[in-house]
Chains A and B, each alone.
Chain A
Amino acid sequence: MPASSEVAIVLPEGVALHARPAGLFVRRAMTFTSRITVVKGEREADAKSILGVLGLGALGGTSLVLRAEGNDADEALAALAELVPTLA
């Protein structure tokens, strides 16, 4: 059965998932085979969909949950959680 995990993150001040940072985030997500979801409140987006991630409108200070299901779920979440603070 594929692994499923999630991690809560807060976007640092000055890090928003808008154009360029969202592109970097989504491109990293696409390197994993797991299904990865970004949850912001009641909205969810496919982490591999640039328009989905942009549509969340996640600004600095926003709390997000990253959820992954699949064989590389843990690696995917670790990589994305590590990437986010560097996106400013």
Chain B
Amino acid sequence: MVGIVLVSHSAALADGLAEIVGQVAGDEVRIETAGGSSDSRLGTSGDRVEQALARADTGDGVVVLADLGSSILVVRHVLDYLGVNGRIRLVDAPMVEGAIAAAVVASSGASVADVALAAESARDARKF
């Protein structure tokens, strides 16, 4: 099953989102977070991202959602460095909606490509 990694400047934001996503998508999907800097302040840590990716990846790949700015840059840097070849995908999607859409599709056993597509389709979703 494809895992999900949530990357935020704020550990509280990432953890809170993981809680919501888990409630909607069920507890079979692995949802891991990389929140805050290495000294537990607001920021992004490449090490935390790498560790979250390792925890989330059970062999079927990982879809990564990040909040904005340096989170995106750090994730892209980590993925370049790891050379993961498309099996781990950072998606360009709104984080809350994208994470929920991705995790629900992941829970059906879908591929990385389909989970990434679900997350990116959140760009056009209406809230009401």
Contact = CB atoms under 8 A, between A and B. Distances in A.
Interface of A: 19-20, 22-23, 26-27, 30-31, 49-52, 54-55, 57
A87 B26 CA distance: 14
Interface size class of B (residues with CB under 8 A): 10 to 19
A19 B20 contact: yes
A87 to B, nearest CB: 13
Interface of B: 20, 23-26, 97, 100-101, 104-105, 107-108, 121-122, 125-128
Chief secondary structure at chain A's binding surface: helix
Given A26-B104, A30-B104, A54-B127, 15 more contacts: A20-B24, A22-B24, A23-B26, A27-B25, A50-B24, A50-B101, A50-B104, A51-B100, A51-B101, A51-B122, A51-B125, A55-B125, A55-B127, A55-B128, A57-B128
A27 B104 contact: yes
A47 B78 CA distance: 36
A17 to B, nearest CB: 11
Contacts of A49: 101, 121, 125
A51 B126 CA distance: 8
Contacts of B105: 30
A34 B108 CA distance: 15
Contacts of B97: 51
A69 B125 CA distance: 23
Nearest to A43: B126
